[in-house]
Amino acid sequence: MSDNKKLFPSDGSHHQSAPGANLLNHKIFARFIKSRWYPQVFQWPVAIVFAFIIYELMFGSTKAHDNFGTALTWVLWWPLIPVVFVFFGRFWCTICPFGTLNDIVQKYVGDNRSVPQFLKKYGIWIIDASFILITWSDHVFGIVESPRGSGFLLLMIVTAVVASGALWERRTWCRYLCFLGGLSGNYSRTGMLDLRTNPDICAKCKTASCYKGNVVPGCPMFEFPKKMESIANCNFCGNCIKNCPNDSIQMIPRKPTEGLWFIGRAKLEESFLAAVIMGIVFVQNITMIGIWSGILAGIEKFSGTTSYFVTFTIAFTVAMAIPIALLALASFVAGNFKVESITKNFARYGYAIIPLDVAGHIAHNLFHLLAEGKAILFTGLALFGIETHGNSTAILDDMTIQALQYILIALGTAGSIYTAYRLVKSNADAEGKILATFTPFAVLMFIFGLINIYLFMQPMAMRM
Amino acid sequence: MKSLLNMRLVAIITLTMLFIAASGYASEGGGGMEKAVDGLTIHLSFMDEDAKIGSNTVMISLMDANHTPLEEAKVTVAAEMAGDMAGMAGMEPPESLQAEPRIGHDKGQYMAVMNFADEGKWKISVHVAAGDKETNTDFVVEVLEAGPNWHVLLGFAGIITTIIVAAAINKKRKIARR
């Protein structure tokens, strides 16, 4: 394999990689990825920890602040997961215990049926809907605050994964049904790891082992690496690397957000999710700060009911509708007031929100990780009878956490604005009117950034 | 045809198990406490037999001096942690809850949902206003740490086992047919 050749980027943004940028050129790393230990060496410990978490949630203390399972899930895993996506793309999906469970069920009793057409067609919409539903349920039924509620949610997912693994081929669950799949797909586009193929080698390939399987099964995510448009559905499971007889697959580090600079086929549902996640970040923050009681009182007055089910649903819908409406407005303005281009612009430039989504998600959860992080240690020690009640769970003081949150939001806003610029530049239709197309989206990202900064300025309530 | 029957069987078993799991949240409790004040008998109980950390449905039944269910009373319920530590200087303020019960299933019955945050003794104050009479009665209940919900666990275990067994049978049949 020649080192100095023009590589075909998976995201279509044609550029040359520096020789040696391919991580698989490093012999020890390549040997590890190709070995039978990868990814099992990560999957099994994660599966064991997951089983313990379920046990703790269902059998441990019913008080969130005393439950080790709650601490591991909501104080450690949930805040760290977007960080993993930024550094390693969807690698988490490879070692995710639900994915491992799917593989096991499929291996022993799976029927391996083809994915139903409706899932292929509406999969991401189903993912969008289930993500919204779970977030809504969390607030209305208090899933995070209730260990049993969290356990119930995980068991429901386990059941659905078992059913999916028993019925359908590959990782149908991860690709078309997992509520986190849309989020991880979107977030991984900002990720710093890419998987590409050598187009010269692939052009001569007659086996398609990467997709069909050879040494190990083919791509679990239904991707054909040489035609892969983005990294959104690559788990870095290593199957294509193991299967390729010609060593065509390459793992290349890239700049954060680079995967968003060119979108081949923009999908409305993915942009919609990007806008919805921004709304969810707003809701997550608003419900944990002082102004929430005033907002609730206002909604109660407006709706004439004190039912939290109703009042929260109204607040939730409005919070999600705001970014969607603002994105639609920016799409309308950027289309030089041509109504027919709104949908196209919405789908294409909605991706620019993703860096800010990631930043907002990490910034929000940074508070929980750093202000409640010691809860993981304390609840863990409690399992051995060592009580630590009354000790502060904070790892860093509030001021430091707040400063880190501002830095993250600033980086996210800059990332989103730059992504919007690159998306406009890469769009042939916008040629000659780059500024007119870019400005509305730049303003929009700036507004989202300001809203986030305002929300992070408010003192936030603890999760546990 | 066999496959279709198989699918139906799996669906029926799955739905049954799901029902068992869901019914774990709706089992009717009994027992309770009763107090007579100013000719009014107040019976307080929980939908689940014991009060546990988390969401609980409190049921209050009112009877007048003639042992007739008292309807159309205005009932309010307040709860706060009882005990020596509650309200002491330097301690965190005791957890307190308030609710206005809705009319229950039976005559003279009122129900409210209360979310107990901690285990231990809780004082539940029931205030009843009927006509020109008002009474206030306190009950002390022991809120317990909730154990595992076996209905839910068994329900899920049943569903998962059913799916796996059905899939295994299906796979075996397919292999035998080849």
Q: Which carries the bigger pLDDT value, residue B104 or residue B27?
A: B104
For chain B, how are helix, strand and coil distributed in percent, rounded to 5? 30, 40, 35
The alpha-carbon gap from B52 to the nearest alpha carbon of chain A, in Å, equals 9
Q: Inter-chain contact A110–B160, Cβ cutoff 8 Å?
A: no
pLDDT value of residue A57: 95
The alpha-carbon gap from A120 to the nearest alpha carbon of chain B, in Å, equals 23
User: Is there a contact between A323 and A267 (Cβ–Cβ < 8 Å)?
Assistant: no
Q: Inter-chain contact A62–B152, Cβ cutoff 8 Å?
A: no
pLDDT value of residue A288: 86
Within 10 angstroms of residue B64's Cβ, the number of other Cβ atoms is 16
Question: Residues A132-161, buried b or exposed e (16+ Cβ, 10 A)?
Answer: beebbebbeeebbbbbbbbbbbbbebbbbb
Looking at the complex, does the CB of residue A61 fall below 8 Å from at least one CB of chain B?
A: yes
Instruction: State which amino acid sits at residue A228.
Output: M
Residue B91 has pLDDT above 50, yes or no: no
Q: Which carries the bigger pLDDT value, residue A55 or residue B107?
A: A55
pLDDT value of residue B148: 83
Looking at the complex, does the CB of residue B88 fall below 8 Å from at least one CB of chain A?
A: no
For the stretch B1-23, pLDDT in tens is 555 555 566 666 666 666 655 55
Residue A339 has pLDDT above 80, yes or no: no
pLDDT value of residue B21: 56
Residues on chain B touching A156 (C-beta within 8 angstroms): 156
pLDDT band, very low/low/confident/very high, at A16 (cuts 50, 70, 90) = very low
For the stretch A262-304, pLDDT in tens is 998 899 999 999 999 999 989 988 988 888 889 989 999 999 8
Q: Inter-chain contact B148–A155, Cβ cutoff 8 Å?
A: no
**Cα dist. A357→A193, A352, B162 in Å?**
19, 9, 40
pLDDT value of residue B9: 62
DSSP state of A464: -
In sequence order, the 6+-apart residues with CB closer than 8 A to the CB of A374 are A391, A392, A393, A394, A395
Q: Inter-chain contact B171–A109, Cβ cutoff 8 Å?
A: yes
Residues on chain A touching B91 (C-beta within 8 angstroms): none
The pairing of strands B102-103 and B109-116 is antiparallel
Residue B65 has pLDDT above 70, yes or no: yes
Looking at the complex, does the CB of residue B168 fall below 8 Å from at least one CB of chain A?
A: yes
Q: Which carries the bigger pLDDT value, residue A21 or residue A170?
A: A170
For the stretch B43-61, pLDDT in tens is 999 887 788 887 788 899 9
The alpha-carbon gap from B154 to the nearest alpha carbon of chain A, in Å, equals 11
pLDDT band, very low/low/confident/very high, at A5 (cuts 50, 70, 90) = very low
pLDDT band, very low/low/confident/very high, at B95 (cuts 50, 70, 90) = low
Residue A224 has pLDDT above 90, yes or no: yes
Q: Give the residue on B whose Cα is nearest the Cα of A58.
A: B148
Residue B27 has pLDDT above 50, yes or no: no
Looking at the complex, does the CB of residue A309 fall below 8 Å from at least one CB of chain B?
A: no
Average pLDDT, chain A: 90
User: Is there a contact between A83 and A184 (Cβ–Cβ < 8 Å)?
Assistant: no
For the stretch A237-269, pLDDT in tens is 999 999 999 999 999 999 999 999 999 889 999
pLDDT value of residue A413: 98
The mean pLDDT value for A421-437 works out to: 87
Q: What are phi and psi of B33, to 5 degrees?
A: -130, 155
Residue A69 has pLDDT above 60, yes or no: yes
Looking at the complex, does the CB of residue A384 fall below 8 Å from at least one CB of chain B?
A: no
Query: Can you spell out the DSSP letters for B101-132?
Result: PEE-SSTTEEEEEEEE-SSEEEEEEEEEEETT
Closest CB to B160 among A110, A148, A162: A162
Residue A191 has pLDDT above 50, yes or no: yes
pLDDT band, very low/low/confident/very high, at A38 (cuts 50, 70, 90) = very high
Residues on chain B touching A58 (C-beta within 8 angstroms): 148-149, 152-153
Q: Inter-chain contact B167–A152, Cβ cutoff 8 Å?
A: no
pLDDT band, very low/low/confident/very high, at A112 (cuts 50, 70, 90) = very high
The mean pLDDT value for A342-349 works out to: 92
Q: Which carries the bigger pLDDT value, residue A105 or residue A306?
A: A105
Closest CB to A162 among B117, B163, B171: B163
For chain A, how are helix, strand and coil distributed in percent, rounded to 5? 65, 5, 30
The mean pLDDT value for B116-124 works out to: 85
Residue A168: name the closest of A218, A128, A112, A130 by CA.
A112
For the stretch A123-180, pLDDT in tens is 889 998 999 999 999 888 888 888 999 999 999 999 999 999 999 999 999 999 998 9
pLDDT value of residue A3: 39
pTM of the predicted structure, to 2 decimals: 0.80
Looking at the complex, does the CB of residue B130 fall below 8 Å from at least one CB of chain A?
A: no
pLDDT value of residue A293: 87
pLDDT value of residue A391: 82
Residue A352 has pLDDT above 90, yes or no: yes
Work out how many CB contacts closer than 8 A connect A with B.
56
Closest CB to B167 among A148, A159, A166: A166
pLDDT value of residue A9: 44
What totals of helices (H) and strands (E) does chain A contain, helices first?
21, 2
Lowest mean pLDDT among A113-117, A409-413, B54-58, B102-106: B102-106
pLDDT value of residue A363: 95
Alpha-carbon gap, residue A440 to A330, rounded angstroms:
5
Residue A185: name the closest of A133, A128, A251, A104 by CA.
A128
The alpha-carbon gap from A131 to the nearest alpha carbon of chain B, in Å, equals 22
The alpha-carbon gap from B55 to the nearest alpha carbon of chain A, in Å, equals 10
pLDDT value of residue A146: 87
Q: What percent of chain A has pLDDT over 70?
A: 94
pLDDT value of residue B89: 41
Closest CB to B171 among A63, A111, A158: A111
Token pair of A184, please? 């991880």
The pairing of strands B96-99 and B40-46 is unpaired
**End-to-end Cα, chain A, rounded Å:** 53
Average pLDDT, chain B: 78
Residues on chain B touching A163 (C-beta within 8 angstroms): 163
Looking at the complex, does the CB of residue A63 fall below 8 Å from at least one CB of chain B?
A: yes
Residue A186: name the closest of A76, A109, A90 by CA.
A90
Looking at the complex, does the CB of residue A146 fall below 8 Å from at least one CB of chain B?
A: yes
Closest CB to A58 among B53, B148, B160: B148
Residues on chain A touching B54 (C-beta within 8 angstroms): 62, 146, 148
pLDDT band, very low/low/confident/very high, at A192 (cuts 50, 70, 90) = very high
Lowest mean pLDDT among A98-107, B33-42, B84-93: B84-93
Residues on chain A touching B164 (C-beta within 8 angstroms): 105, 109, 162, 166
Mutate to test the interface with A, among B14, B91, B159, B173 (most CBs of A within 10 A): B159
Mutate to test the interface with A, among B164, B173, B175, B177 (most CBs of A within 10 A): B164
Token pair of A408, please? 């993250």
User: Is there a contact between B118 and B81 (Cβ–Cβ < 8 Å)?
Assistant: yes
Lowest mean pLDDT among A382-386, B92-96, B125-129: B92-96
- Between residues 94 and 123 of chain A, which touch chain B (CB distance below 8 Å)? 105, 108-111
Q: Inter-chain contact A109–B167, Cβ cutoff 8 Å?
A: yes
Residue B104: name the closest of B47, B34, B49 by CA.
B47
For the stretch A46-63, pLDDT in tens is 999 999 999 999 999 888
Q: Inter-chain contact A58–B164, Cβ cutoff 8 Å?
A: no
User: Is there a contact between B163 and B171 (Cβ–Cβ < 8 Å)?
Assistant: no
In sequence order, the 6+-apart residues with CB closer than 8 A to the CB of A64 are A70, A144, A145, A146, A147, A463, A464
